[in-house]
Amino acid sequence: MKGSPTFKHLLSPGRIGGLEMRNRIVMSPMGSNLAEADGHIGERITRYYEARARGGVGLIIVGVGAIAYPVAACIPNQVAISNDVFLPGLRTLTERVHAHGAKIAIQLQHAGKVATQDMAVGRPVWVPSVPTLTAGDLLNDLTQEEAQGVVGYLMKPGAALRFHEMGAADIRTVIAMFADAANRARRAGFDGVEIHAAHGYLIAEFLSPATNHRCDEYGGSLENRARLMVEVIRAVRQRVGADFPVWCRLDAKEFRIANGISVEDAQRAAELAAAAGADAMHVSAYADPTSGVAFTDAPLVDAPCGYVALAEGIKRRVNIPIIAVGRIEPDEADAIIAGGKADFVAMARKLLADPELPNKLREGRAADVRPCVYSYTCVSNIFVSKPSACAVNPASGREAEYEITPAAQPKRVLIVGGGPAGMEAARVAALRGHRVTLCEQHDQLGGTLRFAALTHEPNAQLLAYLQMQVQKLPIEIRLRQAVTAAFVEQLEPDVILVATGGRRRLPALPGADRANVLSSDQLCSGGTELLRSLGKRVVVIGGSIVGIQIAALLSARGHEVSVIDEGKTLAVEMALPRRWRVLHTLRERGVRLLTESRAEAISDAGVDFTTNGDRQTVPADSVILVARMEEDHRLAEALSTRSGAVHLIGDCRRVGYLEGALTDAVRVARIV
């Protein structure tokens, strides 16, 4: 991690209204699906937030607190703040967070047209104007099961979709709900509230000319469209008093939405919010909700520092603190604050990956921060109504289940395989006090993560992190070491963890032995020198995550790439938002994605394939055969008769790629 080793600006104390924070790192609010099914705060979500408080964050903003719950809720396990019955759990949460020196606020939200839980039971969905429903590409690159899950998230089976255009009495009701929820938050011990006026929810729908077609005092001009936001801020302020911090989350822009919120609209809305009494502005963005790739424009930005310029533009127009968000690395955050572009930086995914990030920065251990690899697993789960999870941190949202504790009896642990599962298992076992030997048959650690690092740069950061951790801990690392029965007998381990990866099977095709044909494994191990030897036109046979990563890598290097796959959906192993982004990028580069197609043979002319019985040929100078991954129990079975218990972890047990490998590693290493 580059930049100042002290992060003095990011780690300096900050203030919003009368609220003082120990640093300027904010845990961004996000729906987690970790609350109880009835909206109550339970132990699971409490531990989730408590872990980030213990990790040193300055301010936690609890995501999407439903002010009208169960009405106007958008996810099944959403935090509710609509009734005093929820106060005990909310108080427990604030007390547990405060015990670690962090401050905590809650985001107040009415989902408006995104109120899926209203749709589920046929309740009318409250909106400023009845929307015009349009079909987008959201479901295009999903499996049938995924599509059913997303549709189920957006619209429950059997529910009749009904919209209710809000009248004056409805608006007064909503304003009162926000004020009541804010007062409830104060009584529960929260240090402030964030009014959600972004991301396509109710207040944002009033703000956006794309969804607000009203002709009364709440429609038309920007001042009219912002009236609900202004009246909510004033009502909340009147209810909680001048000394209780209140701020807004605002869309600085709506991407890919015709007649959506413009930059100028957002800047003027921020001025109106500040004049109404907002103590700060949390600057985000939104995009077309019917488009998959648009979701990675906003609100879950794929571009590094994607909204910083937008935040800076609003900061120039208001005299209140600005919270910037959007894939900001700590060194960039420090520079943003130093340069006066924002006053605080919000992080969500990074704090899921490593709750201890703030403490590690403060202790001068930036290199020990477990990096987010931007796989989008955290949000992908929400799309199909599952609890949020993290691809690189299995304990996120499962803090009790994956807590690492000292071993009651230290053991001699042999780990076979130095890929991500093996390295993570070695790290956890060593932290617990075991004597660990990590064996890798090749001359370097990394396994398949090395190829993943070649095709997706954040994976290179994870590889470096894992390598550093096993090298710093008292772990005996043996490279170029094959593990045999004789070796095991000599070492006499108490426990053996086999993490040798899956078995790879190449498609059997006529012409596969030609000189211009390579396997994905050969490409992975050959590095940049082998990449340079490839011809201009490359055909990739196999559209798994590996094949699509290869296509992305080669198309970025200027090759003309075609991908042939028998399935209807490509890269099914990728989390939804990342898949949407990667496949969109490939199409923009002109990559031919030939789905529901079978490769038949490789010849001088290229690759012969059939689609719906029609035989065609795609020209190829080079051909990459992508191996199909299968579980592989052979080594574990061979060692099971030797001393010590034998456990399989990672792809050799069950193909689960990076997330499966790391989850397996922690699951087993924490109990051996």
Determine which helix (DSSP H) or strand (DSSP E) holds 306, and give its type and residue range: none
pLDDT at 2: 45
Output the pLDDT for position 531: 87
Catalytic positions are 201
**Per-residue pLDDT tens digits for 446-476:** 998 998 898 899 999 999 999 999 999 999 9
Alpha carbon 149 to its chain centroid, in Å, reads: 18
Q: Do 14-383 and 412-502+631-669 share a fold?
A: no
Upstream peptide bond of 209 is cis (omega within 30 degrees of 0): no
List, in sequence order, every residue forming a beta bridge with 325; answer none if it has no partner.
346
Can you tell me whether residue 2 is helix, strand or coil? coil
Q: Say if residues 659 and 649 touch (Cβ distance below 8 Å).
A: no
Spell out the long-range contacts of 157-160 with Cβ–Cβ below 8 A and sequence spacing 24 or more: 159/119, 159/120, 159/121, 159/122, 160/122
CB 48 within 8 A of CB 77: no
Dist CA 336 CA 624 (whole Å): 43
* Secondary-structure class of domain 505-628 per CATH: alpha beta
Q: Using an 8 Å Cβ cutoff, are 304 and 329 in contact?
A: yes
| 1.10.357.10, 3.40.50.740, 3.20.20.120, 3.40.50.720: CATH of 412-502+631-669 | 3.40.50.720
Looking at residue 1, its pLDDT comes to: 44
- State residue 4's pLDDT score: 43
User: Rounded to a whole number, what is the distance in angstroms from the first to the last CA of the chain?
Assistant: 33
CA distances to 39, 196, 572 from 192, rounded to whole Å, are: 20, 13, 41
Q: ∠ at Cα 31 (267, 655), nearest 5°?
A: 125
- pTM recorded for the entire structure: 0.95
Fold of 14-383: TIM Barrel (3.20.20)
Mean pLDDT of the chain: 95
DSSP 194-260: EEEE-TTSHHHHHH-TTT----STTSSSHHHHTHHHHHHHHHHHHHH-TTS-EEEEEEEEEET-TT-
Phi-psi category of residue 40: left, alpha or beta, with phi > 0 → left and psi -120 to 50 → alpha: beta
H or E segment to which residue 525 belongs: helix 520-532
State the burial class of residue 236 (Cβ atoms within 10 Å of its Cβ: 0-12, 13-18, 19+).
buried
Query: Per-domain residue ranges for the chain?
Result: 14-383, 412-502+631-669, 505-628
What is the chain's length? 672
Which residue numbers in the chain have pLDDT < 50?
A: 1-4
Nearest to residue 263, comparing CAs of 230, 290, 233, 286? 286
Cβ–Cβ < 8 Å for 31, 78? yes
Which pLDDT belongs to residue 155?
Answer: 61
